[in-house]
Structure 1
Amino acid sequence: MKNVFTHTKKVILMVAMLAAVMGYANEISLIKFGKDLRGTALTINNVKEGNLLSIKDIYGVTLYKEVIEQTGMYSKGFDLTDLPDGNYFFELEKDMEIKTIPFNVKDTVVSFNKNAETTTFKPFVRQKDDLVLITKLALNGEPLKVSVYGVYNTVTDLLFNETIKDEKTIERVYKLESGKYKIVFNFDGKEFTKYINN
Protein backbone atom coordinates (compact mmCIF):
# COMPACT_ATOMS: atom_id res chain seq x y z
CA MET A 1 0.00 0.00 0.00
CA LYS A 2 2.90 2.33 0.86
CA ASN A 3 4.40 1.72 -2.61
CA VAL A 4 1.11 2.73 -4.27
CA PHE A 5 1.10 6.07 -2.42
CA THR A 6 4.79 6.66 -3.21
CA HIS A 7 4.20 5.82 -6.89
CA THR A 8 1.11 8.07 -7.00
CA LYS A 9 3.06 10.98 -5.46
CA LYS A 10 5.82 10.56 -8.07
CA VAL A 11 3.27 10.53 -10.91
CA ILE A 12 1.56 13.66 -9.57
CA LEU A 13 4.92 15.43 -9.17
CA MET A 14 5.94 14.46 -12.73
CA VAL A 15 2.62 15.66 -14.13
CA ALA A 16 2.90 18.95 -12.24
CA MET A 17 6.46 19.52 -13.46
CA LEU A 18 5.52 18.61 -17.02
CA ALA A 19 2.54 20.98 -16.85
CA ALA A 20 4.76 23.81 -15.64
CA VAL A 21 7.38 23.23 -18.36
CA MET A 22 4.81 22.87 -21.13
CA GLY A 23 2.95 25.92 -19.85
CA TYR A 24 5.86 28.13 -20.84
CA ALA A 25 5.78 26.81 -24.41
CA ASN A 26 2.06 27.35 -24.96
CA GLU A 27 -0.48 29.57 -23.31
CA ILE A 28 -2.82 26.64 -22.56
CA SER A 29 -1.63 23.13 -21.77
CA LEU A 30 -3.71 20.03 -21.19
CA ILE A 31 -2.25 16.90 -19.66
CA LYS A 32 -4.27 13.74 -19.12
CA PHE A 33 -3.43 11.69 -16.05
CA GLY A 34 -2.69 7.98 -16.34
CA LYS A 35 -5.06 5.05 -15.72
CA ASP A 36 -4.60 5.10 -11.96
CA LEU A 37 -5.38 8.79 -11.69
CA ARG A 38 -8.58 10.05 -13.30
CA GLY A 39 -8.48 13.58 -14.58
CA THR A 40 -6.96 16.28 -16.71
CA ALA A 41 -4.53 18.99 -15.64
CA LEU A 42 -5.29 22.37 -17.19
CA THR A 43 -2.50 24.96 -17.13
CA ILE A 44 -2.98 28.46 -18.53
CA ASN A 45 -0.30 31.15 -18.70
CA ASN A 46 -0.98 34.87 -18.63
CA VAL A 47 -4.28 34.91 -16.78
CA LYS A 48 -5.42 37.95 -14.86
CA GLU A 49 -7.40 38.22 -11.66
CA GLY A 50 -11.07 38.37 -12.65
CA ASN A 51 -10.79 36.23 -15.81
CA LEU A 52 -13.60 33.68 -16.01
CA LEU A 53 -13.04 29.96 -16.68
CA SER A 54 -16.08 27.82 -17.54
CA ILE A 55 -16.89 24.32 -18.71
CA LYS A 56 -19.91 24.27 -21.03
CA ASP A 57 -21.78 21.66 -22.99
CA ILE A 58 -22.43 21.89 -26.74
CA TYR A 59 -25.65 23.83 -26.07
CA GLY A 60 -23.81 26.52 -24.12
CA VAL A 61 -25.09 25.38 -20.72
CA THR A 62 -22.52 26.22 -18.03
CA LEU A 63 -21.54 23.15 -16.01
CA TYR A 64 -18.70 24.75 -14.05
CA LYS A 65 -17.63 28.35 -13.51
CA GLU A 66 -14.68 29.85 -11.67
CA VAL A 67 -13.36 33.39 -11.40
CA ILE A 68 -9.55 33.39 -11.58
CA GLU A 69 -8.25 34.78 -8.29
CA GLN A 70 -4.60 35.38 -9.09
CA THR A 71 -2.68 36.96 -11.97
CA GLY A 72 0.01 34.80 -13.63
CA MET A 73 -0.22 31.05 -14.18
CA TYR A 74 -3.40 29.04 -13.47
CA SER A 75 -3.22 25.29 -12.94
CA LYS A 76 -5.94 22.92 -11.79
CA GLY A 77 -6.94 19.28 -12.16
CA PHE A 78 -10.39 18.32 -13.46
CA ASP A 79 -12.08 14.91 -13.51
CA LEU A 80 -13.99 15.06 -16.79
CA THR A 81 -14.59 11.30 -17.04
CA ASP A 82 -17.82 11.50 -15.03
CA LEU A 83 -19.47 13.70 -17.66
CA PRO A 84 -22.05 11.98 -19.90
CA ASP A 85 -20.85 11.11 -23.41
CA GLY A 86 -20.87 14.20 -25.61
CA ASN A 87 -19.06 17.33 -26.71
CA TYR A 88 -17.96 20.03 -24.26
CA PHE A 89 -15.54 22.92 -24.07
CA PHE A 90 -13.47 24.95 -21.66
CA GLU A 91 -14.04 28.67 -22.12
CA LEU A 92 -11.60 31.28 -20.81
CA GLU A 93 -13.04 34.78 -20.89
CA LYS A 94 -10.40 37.49 -20.70
CA ASP A 95 -10.74 41.27 -20.97
CA MET A 96 -10.76 41.40 -24.77
CA GLU A 97 -10.98 37.77 -25.92
CA ILE A 98 -12.60 34.41 -25.32
CA LYS A 99 -10.58 31.22 -25.80
CA THR A 100 -12.48 27.99 -26.41
CA ILE A 101 -10.92 24.54 -25.91
CA PRO A 102 -13.25 21.77 -27.13
CA PHE A 103 -13.17 18.21 -25.82
CA ASN A 104 -15.19 15.04 -26.18
CA VAL A 105 -16.19 12.41 -23.61
CA LYS A 106 -16.93 8.88 -24.87
CA ASP A 107 -17.11 5.87 -22.54
CA THR A 108 -15.21 7.79 -19.81
CA VAL A 109 -12.40 8.60 -22.27
CA VAL A 110 -11.68 12.32 -22.67
CA SER A 111 -10.11 13.55 -25.92
CA PHE A 112 -9.06 17.07 -26.90
CA ASN A 113 -8.74 18.46 -30.41
CA LYS A 114 -6.00 21.10 -30.22
CA ASN A 115 -6.65 22.13 -33.83
CA ALA A 116 -10.26 23.07 -32.98
CA GLU A 117 -9.29 25.63 -30.31
CA THR A 118 -10.62 29.09 -31.15
CA THR A 119 -10.10 32.66 -30.03
CA THR A 120 -12.95 35.14 -30.36
CA PHE A 121 -12.39 38.82 -29.77
CA LYS A 122 -14.89 40.82 -27.73
CA PRO A 123 -16.06 44.28 -28.76
CA PHE A 124 -14.29 47.22 -27.12
CA VAL A 125 -16.52 50.17 -26.22
CA ARG A 126 -15.20 53.63 -25.43
CA GLN A 127 -17.20 56.74 -24.68
CA LYS A 128 -16.04 60.24 -25.58
CA ASP A 129 -18.55 63.00 -24.81
CA ASP A 130 -21.70 62.11 -26.79
CA LEU A 131 -19.87 59.63 -29.04
CA VAL A 132 -19.66 55.88 -28.46
CA LEU A 133 -16.75 54.25 -30.28
CA ILE A 134 -16.89 50.49 -30.92
CA THR A 135 -14.05 48.35 -32.25
CA LYS A 136 -13.84 44.59 -32.66
CA LEU A 137 -11.49 42.17 -34.39
CA ALA A 138 -13.34 39.65 -36.56
CA LEU A 139 -10.47 37.81 -38.22
CA ASN A 140 -12.80 35.40 -40.03
CA GLY A 141 -15.29 38.10 -41.00
CA GLU A 142 -17.86 36.75 -38.52
CA PRO A 143 -20.94 38.98 -38.25
CA LEU A 144 -21.52 41.31 -35.32
CA LYS A 145 -25.04 42.44 -34.48
CA VAL A 146 -25.25 45.72 -32.57
CA SER A 147 -28.52 46.77 -30.94
CA VAL A 148 -28.83 50.14 -29.18
CA TYR A 149 -31.65 50.54 -26.65
CA GLY A 150 -32.77 53.66 -24.82
CA VAL A 151 -33.30 53.02 -21.10
CA TYR A 152 -36.21 54.92 -19.54
CA ASN A 153 -36.58 53.99 -15.86
CA THR A 154 -37.26 50.23 -16.14
CA VAL A 155 -38.38 50.25 -19.80
CA THR A 156 -36.04 49.74 -22.76
CA ASP A 157 -36.82 50.82 -26.30
CA LEU A 158 -34.90 49.60 -29.38
CA LEU A 159 -33.53 52.70 -31.11
CA PHE A 160 -31.22 51.20 -33.71
CA ASN A 161 -29.66 47.93 -34.78
CA GLU A 162 -27.32 46.75 -37.50
CA THR A 163 -25.47 43.59 -38.45
CA ILE A 164 -21.91 44.13 -39.64
CA LYS A 165 -20.50 41.40 -41.92
CA ASP A 166 -17.32 40.57 -43.80
CA GLU A 167 -15.08 43.05 -41.99
CA LYS A 168 -11.92 41.92 -40.23
CA THR A 169 -11.64 45.12 -38.20
CA ILE A 170 -15.02 46.51 -37.19
CA GLU A 171 -15.08 50.18 -36.26
CA ARG A 172 -18.25 52.15 -35.61
CA VAL A 173 -19.08 55.47 -34.00
CA TYR A 174 -22.56 56.21 -32.66
CA LYS A 175 -23.70 59.65 -31.56
CA LEU A 176 -26.04 59.39 -28.58
CA GLU A 177 -27.94 62.25 -27.03
CA SER A 178 -27.78 62.75 -23.29
CA GLY A 179 -29.44 59.82 -21.51
CA LYS A 180 -29.07 56.15 -20.54
CA TYR A 181 -28.47 53.42 -23.11
CA LYS A 182 -27.97 49.69 -23.32
CA ILE A 183 -25.88 48.33 -26.20
CA VAL A 184 -26.21 44.59 -26.90
CA PHE A 185 -23.62 42.76 -29.03
CA ASN A 186 -24.34 39.33 -30.56
CA PHE A 187 -21.61 37.29 -32.27
CA ASP A 188 -20.53 33.65 -32.46
CA GLY A 189 -23.52 32.58 -30.35
CA LYS A 190 -22.47 34.93 -27.55
CA GLU A 191 -24.14 38.05 -26.17
CA PHE A 192 -22.52 40.98 -24.37
CA THR A 193 -24.20 44.04 -22.93
CA LYS A 194 -22.68 47.45 -22.24
CA TYR A 195 -24.52 50.26 -20.41
CA ILE A 196 -23.85 53.88 -21.34
CA ASN A 197 -24.81 56.86 -19.21
CA ASN A 198 -23.99 60.21 -20.84
Structure 2
Amino acid sequence: MKNVLKHSKKGILMVIMCTAMLSFANEVPFFNIKNETSSTSLVLKRLKAGNLLSIKDSHGVIVHKEVIQATGNFSSKFDLTLLPNGAYKFEVDKGLVISSIPFTVKSGLVLFNKEEEQIIYKPHTRVEGNVVYISKLALNGEPLKIYIYAVATGYEGLLYSETIENTTNIERIYRLNGLEDGSHKIVFETEGREFIEHL
Protein backbone atom coordinates (compact mmCIF):
# COMPACT_ATOMS: atom_id res chain seq x y z
CA MET A 1 0.00 0.00 0.00
CA LYS A 2 2.89 2.35 0.82
CA ASN A 3 4.36 1.77 -2.65
CA VAL A 4 1.03 2.57 -4.31
CA LEU A 5 0.78 5.86 -2.40
CA LYS A 6 4.42 6.67 -3.10
CA HIS A 7 4.04 6.09 -6.87
CA SER A 8 0.70 7.95 -6.93
CA LYS A 9 2.38 11.00 -5.39
CA LYS A 10 5.11 10.84 -8.04
CA GLY A 11 2.52 10.59 -10.81
CA ILE A 12 0.65 13.60 -9.44
CA LEU A 13 3.90 15.56 -9.25
CA MET A 14 4.68 14.76 -12.91
CA VAL A 15 1.19 15.88 -13.98
CA ILE A 16 1.61 19.16 -12.06
CA MET A 17 5.01 19.72 -13.69
CA CYS A 18 3.59 19.13 -17.18
CA THR A 19 0.63 21.41 -16.44
CA ALA A 20 3.04 24.15 -15.42
CA MET A 21 4.97 23.65 -18.67
CA LEU A 22 1.71 23.90 -20.63
CA SER A 23 0.94 27.21 -18.95
CA PHE A 24 4.26 28.58 -20.24
CA ALA A 25 3.26 27.54 -23.76
CA ASN A 26 0.41 30.08 -23.80
CA GLU A 27 2.39 33.01 -22.39
CA VAL A 28 3.16 36.20 -24.26
CA PRO A 29 6.45 36.05 -26.19
CA PHE A 30 9.52 35.97 -23.99
CA PHE A 31 11.50 38.21 -26.35
CA ASN A 32 11.37 41.64 -27.94
CA ILE A 33 13.35 42.58 -31.04
CA LYS A 34 14.06 46.03 -32.40
CA ASN A 35 15.71 46.09 -35.79
CA GLU A 36 17.73 49.23 -36.49
CA THR A 37 19.92 50.22 -39.43
CA SER A 38 23.19 48.75 -38.22
CA SER A 39 22.21 46.77 -35.14
CA THR A 40 19.50 44.57 -33.69
CA SER A 41 18.43 45.00 -30.08
CA LEU A 42 17.32 41.77 -28.42
CA VAL A 43 15.55 41.73 -25.05
CA LEU A 44 14.91 38.32 -23.49
CA LYS A 45 12.59 38.06 -20.51
CA ARG A 46 12.48 35.69 -17.53
CA LEU A 47 15.96 34.20 -17.91
CA LYS A 48 18.03 32.57 -15.20
CA ALA A 49 21.75 32.75 -14.63
CA GLY A 50 23.33 29.88 -16.54
CA ASN A 51 20.83 29.89 -19.45
CA LEU A 52 22.55 29.75 -22.83
CA LEU A 53 22.04 32.16 -25.74
CA SER A 54 23.44 31.27 -29.14
CA ILE A 55 23.15 32.23 -32.79
CA LYS A 56 23.19 29.29 -35.22
CA ASP A 57 23.21 29.11 -38.99
CA SER A 58 20.95 26.83 -41.05
CA HIS A 59 23.43 23.94 -40.63
CA GLY A 60 23.43 24.21 -36.82
CA VAL A 61 26.89 25.80 -36.71
CA ILE A 62 27.19 28.16 -33.72
CA VAL A 63 28.34 31.63 -34.80
CA HIS A 64 27.85 33.24 -31.37
CA LYS A 65 27.41 31.80 -27.89
CA GLU A 66 27.16 33.27 -24.41
CA VAL A 67 26.05 32.19 -20.95
CA ILE A 68 23.50 34.45 -19.24
CA GLN A 69 25.15 35.88 -16.13
CA ALA A 70 22.17 37.22 -14.15
CA THR A 71 18.57 36.18 -13.50
CA GLY A 72 15.89 38.49 -14.97
CA ASN A 73 15.78 40.27 -18.29
CA PHE A 74 18.72 40.19 -20.72
CA SER A 75 19.39 42.92 -23.25
CA SER A 76 22.08 43.14 -25.91
CA LYS A 77 22.79 44.62 -29.34
CA PHE A 78 24.05 42.58 -32.26
CA ASP A 79 25.27 43.71 -35.68
CA LEU A 80 23.66 40.90 -37.66
CA THR A 81 24.25 42.70 -40.97
CA LEU A 82 27.86 41.44 -40.86
CA LEU A 83 26.67 37.82 -41.21
CA PRO A 84 26.78 36.23 -44.69
CA ASN A 85 23.47 35.92 -46.52
CA GLY A 86 21.45 33.00 -45.20
CA ALA A 87 19.06 31.67 -42.58
CA TYR A 88 19.90 31.90 -38.88
CA LYS A 89 18.25 31.68 -35.50
CA PHE A 90 18.68 32.96 -32.00
CA GLU A 91 18.39 30.00 -29.65
CA VAL A 92 17.80 30.24 -25.90
CA ASP A 93 18.34 27.10 -23.82
CA LYS A 94 16.43 27.55 -20.56
CA GLY A 95 16.93 24.11 -19.03
CA LEU A 96 13.88 22.05 -20.04
CA VAL A 97 12.83 24.46 -22.80
CA ILE A 98 14.67 25.58 -25.94
CA SER A 99 13.23 28.60 -27.76
CA SER A 100 14.40 29.62 -31.21
CA ILE A 101 13.79 32.86 -33.09
CA PRO A 102 14.54 32.51 -36.81
CA PHE A 103 15.81 35.33 -39.01
CA THR A 104 17.37 35.77 -42.43
CA VAL A 105 20.15 38.02 -43.64
CA LYS A 106 20.05 39.18 -47.24
CA SER A 107 22.22 41.98 -48.66
CA GLY A 108 22.69 43.54 -45.23
CA LEU A 109 18.98 43.40 -44.35
CA VAL A 110 17.87 41.39 -41.33
CA LEU A 111 14.32 40.00 -41.37
CA PHE A 112 12.66 38.27 -38.40
CA ASN A 113 9.64 36.01 -38.69
CA LYS A 114 7.97 35.81 -35.27
CA GLU A 115 5.38 33.34 -36.62
CA GLU A 116 8.15 30.77 -37.06
CA GLU A 117 9.33 30.96 -33.46
CA GLN A 118 9.75 27.42 -32.17
CA ILE A 119 9.62 26.02 -28.65
CA ILE A 120 11.06 22.58 -27.95
CA TYR A 121 10.44 20.85 -24.65
CA LYS A 122 13.33 18.61 -23.62
CA PRO A 123 12.79 15.23 -21.99
CA HIS A 124 13.14 15.29 -18.21
CA THR A 125 14.83 12.36 -16.46
CA ARG A 126 14.68 11.57 -12.75
CA VAL A 127 16.32 8.57 -11.06
CA GLU A 128 15.29 6.96 -7.77
CA GLY A 129 17.15 3.80 -6.89
CA ASN A 130 16.86 1.47 -9.89
CA VAL A 131 13.85 3.31 -11.33
CA VAL A 132 14.11 5.94 -14.09
CA TYR A 133 11.20 8.36 -14.62
CA ILE A 134 10.99 10.12 -17.99
CA SER A 135 8.54 12.87 -18.91
CA LYS A 136 8.25 15.20 -21.89
CA LEU A 137 5.73 17.68 -23.17
CA ALA A 138 4.94 17.16 -26.89
CA LEU A 139 2.26 19.73 -27.74
CA ASN A 140 2.04 18.65 -31.40
CA GLY A 141 2.35 14.92 -30.73
CA GLU A 142 5.88 14.93 -32.12
CA PRO A 143 7.61 11.54 -31.75
CA LEU A 144 10.16 10.85 -29.04
CA LYS A 145 12.66 8.04 -29.60
CA ILE A 146 14.26 6.59 -26.48
CA TYR A 147 17.39 4.41 -26.53
CA ILE A 148 18.71 2.96 -23.25
CA TYR A 149 22.29 1.69 -23.25
CA ALA A 150 24.38 -0.23 -20.72
CA VAL A 151 27.79 1.40 -20.48
CA ALA A 152 31.02 -0.15 -19.25
CA THR A 153 34.67 0.55 -19.96
CA GLY A 154 35.08 0.14 -23.70
CA TYR A 155 31.55 -1.23 -24.13
CA GLU A 156 28.14 0.19 -24.93
CA GLY A 157 25.17 -2.11 -25.53
CA LEU A 158 21.60 -1.22 -26.44
CA LEU A 159 19.22 -2.57 -23.79
CA TYR A 160 15.92 -1.12 -24.97
CA SER A 161 14.47 1.26 -27.54
CA GLU A 162 11.03 2.75 -27.97
CA THR A 163 9.31 5.37 -30.11
CA ILE A 164 6.41 7.27 -28.54
CA GLU A 165 4.15 9.42 -30.71
CA ASN A 166 0.70 10.98 -31.01
CA THR A 167 0.52 12.02 -27.36
CA THR A 168 1.04 15.43 -25.78
CA ASN A 169 2.16 14.26 -22.34
CA ILE A 170 4.82 11.55 -22.50
CA GLU A 171 5.51 9.66 -19.28
CA ARG A 172 7.55 6.47 -18.95
CA ILE A 173 9.00 4.50 -16.06
CA TYR A 174 11.89 2.03 -16.54
CA ARG A 175 13.47 -0.29 -14.00
CA LEU A 176 17.19 -0.77 -14.70
CA ASN A 177 18.88 -3.50 -12.70
CA GLY A 178 22.25 -2.62 -11.24
CA LEU A 179 21.88 1.09 -11.94
CA GLU A 180 25.09 2.75 -10.76
CA ASP A 181 26.74 6.05 -11.57
CA GLY A 182 27.92 5.98 -15.16
CA SER A 183 26.58 2.50 -15.90
CA HIS A 184 23.75 3.58 -18.23
CA LYS A 185 23.09 6.14 -20.92
CA ILE A 186 19.77 7.30 -22.35
CA VAL A 187 19.62 8.92 -25.79
CA PHE A 188 16.51 10.89 -26.76
CA GLU A 189 15.74 11.93 -30.34
CA THR A 190 12.96 14.43 -31.05
CA GLU A 191 12.31 17.26 -33.51
CA GLY A 192 15.65 16.70 -35.27
CA ARG A 193 17.63 16.95 -32.03
CA GLU A 194 19.44 14.54 -29.78
CA PHE A 195 19.64 14.76 -25.98
CA ILE A 196 21.85 12.46 -23.90
CA GLU A 197 21.55 11.60 -20.20
CA HIS A 198 24.28 9.67 -18.37
CA LEU A 199 23.04 7.75 -15.34
Same fold (TM over 0.5): yes
Q: Deviations over 1:95-115 (max 9, x none)?
A: 110001000111110000011
Q: What aligned pairs does 1:49-64 form with structure 2 within 5 A after superposition?
A: 49-64=49-64
One-letter amino acid of the structure 1 residue matched with residue 77 of structure 2? G
Report which of the two structures shows the higher radius of gyration computed on alpha carbons. Answer: 1
Equivalent residue pairs, number: 169
Query: In structure 2, the residue corresponding to 1:81 is in which secondary structure?
Result: helix
One-letter amino acid of the structure 2 residue matched with residue 40 of structure 1? T
TM-score, with normalisation over the residues of structure 1?
0.82
Counterpart for residue 136 of structure 1: 136
Counterpart for residue 89 of structure 2: 89
One-letter amino acid of the structure 2 residue matched with residue 155 of structure 1? Y
User: Structure 2: how far apart are the matches of 1:138 and 1:26?
Assistant: 19
User: Structure 1: how far apart are the matches of 2:99 and 2:29?
Assistant: 13
Counterpart for residue 171 of structure 1: 171
Counterpart for residue 195 of structure 1: 198
Query: Given the alignment of the two structures, is residue 80 of structure 1 paired with residue 88 of structure 2, yes or no?
Result: no
The runs of at least 4 consecutive aligned structure 1 residues that moved more than 2 Å come to none
RMSD of the TM alignment (CA)? Answer: 1.1
One-letter amino acid of the structure 1 residue matched with residue 185 of structure 2? K
Counterpart for residue 186 of structure 1: 189
Q: Deviations over 1:49-95 (max 9, x none)?
A: 11111111111111111111111111111111011111110110011
One-letter amino acid of the structure 2 residue matched with residue 88 of structure 1? Y
Runs (5+) with no aligned partner, structure 2: 1-27
User: Structure 1: how far apart are the matches of 2:43 and 2:66?
Assistant: 14
User: Structure 2: how far apart are the matches of 1:107 and 1:69?
Assistant: 33
One-letter amino acid of the structure 1 residue matched with residue 143 of structure 2? P
- Cα drift, residue 26 of structure 1: 4.3
